[in-house]
Amino acid sequence: MQKNTWLKGPPPANGMIKDLRFDCRERLSSIEQQLLTPATQNSHPYQSSSQLNCKNLTTLPLVSIALLKPFTSIIRPPAHTPTSPDDVRPDSIPTDPPPAYDGPPAAPLPRPLPPRLPLSLPALNHLRTRRIILASASPRRSQLLSLLGLPNLEIIPSTFPETLSKTEHTPFSYVSSTAHEKCREVYARELDSHPDGKEVGIVIAADTVIVDNEGRVIEKPRSREDHLSILKGLRNGGGHKVFTAVVCMAPRDDLTHPGYNVVSHVEETLVKFDSLVTDELIEAYVRTREGIDKAGGYAIQGLGAILIEKIEGSYDNVVGLPLRATLRLIEKVVSGETDAEEEFGSDEE
């Protein structure tokens, strides 16, 4: 039977109209059955009828589309938004206890990234054939580094005790020295595991500190009271700096002393809290426990963004790893560059 052609020509014969009505009823019955059938695992339970049956709709005669209106009004029910503590549904309350201030950091929820093509750069293409070791247990640093598309990335946290004296170091030298020690400790373990020097990985280490406007290094909060004090101090201070030191070490292909290349960089970002942030908002944020495992007590990539008015510099530096600076270091260490002072300053053991 021809479709829709009779709409533009003379009126059809009575038999043709009967056939058309029968055909419409059959197809409408089929569509109604699909709409009233629970969604399968391949479709969303609240998917609209126009999404579920678009193929069927395009094959119906135009005069029958108006008959489908009763079935195209399926919408997602409005989400339940609690307006007070008494209005919270029991099934929406987390059953797991919040993380403790003195306990290990909570594992982040997986956040699948959309598929994308990796960066195609000579240094990165070479790096994808090598073992890359991140000397940090920070999930934020591993997430940022994974954006470079490194298939052989390994996580080997450094065991270096962060006990350098903050009174004998400036914040800049403190974070730089700590990152160097972390990198050396993991690289030394790599050499012990591969005494022949083969398959020694490229080690990337980092350390981040927050410095208030008076030059004091801000640590991770030790308790709820300390957490409140840190955030109120950052709000009242007018601005603070975030320093992240990144160090990369890679074995040399020749026997030139000291047997490895090392490059480093310290990134600086200025962060300013909103002075209009109230104590009530700070207390509410502390109750979320989001910032208990982070220097400064907040996560700029999470709910902590509501505390911040502006930043000047690298955003991912505040998260924990300045990605652009790290990529430059990788390109340098792979090409054979090294920090001059490191060639002779690392033999003190």
- Annotated catalytic residues are 207
d(C-alpha 133, C-alpha 183), whole Å: 10
End-to-end CA distance of the chain, in Å? 90
Angle at 102 between CA 98 and CA 106, to 5 degrees: 45
Q: Which two tokens stand for residue 246?
A: 């990144």
Burial of 36 (0-12, 13-18, 19+ CB in 10 A): exposed
**Which helix or strand (DSSP H or E) is residue 268 part of?**
strand 260-273
Extract the tokens encoding 221: 């909060």
Give helix 224-236 / helix 279-288 axis angle, nearest 10°: 140
Distances (CA, A) of 210 to 61, 81, 214, 271, 326: 68, 36, 11, 10, 19
- Do residues 235 and 209 touch, judged by C-beta distance below 8 A? no
Q: What angle do CA 60, 2, 36 make, to 5 degrees?
A: 20
Peptide bond into 70 cis (omega under 30): no
Strands 132-134 and 202-211: parallel
Can you tell me the distance from the alpha carbon of 128 to that of 110, in angstroms, rounded to the nearest whole number? 23
- DSSP conformation letters of 119-134: P--HHHHHHTTS-EEE
Q: What are phi and psi of 309, to 5 degrees?
A: -90, -45
- Beta carbons of 59 and 33 less than 8 angstroms apart: no
* Contact between residue 248 and residue 263 where contact means Cβ atoms under 8 Å apart: yes
Residue 307's contacts (CB-CB under 8 Å, 6 or more residues apart) are 231, 235, 273, 274, 277, 281, 282, 285, 298
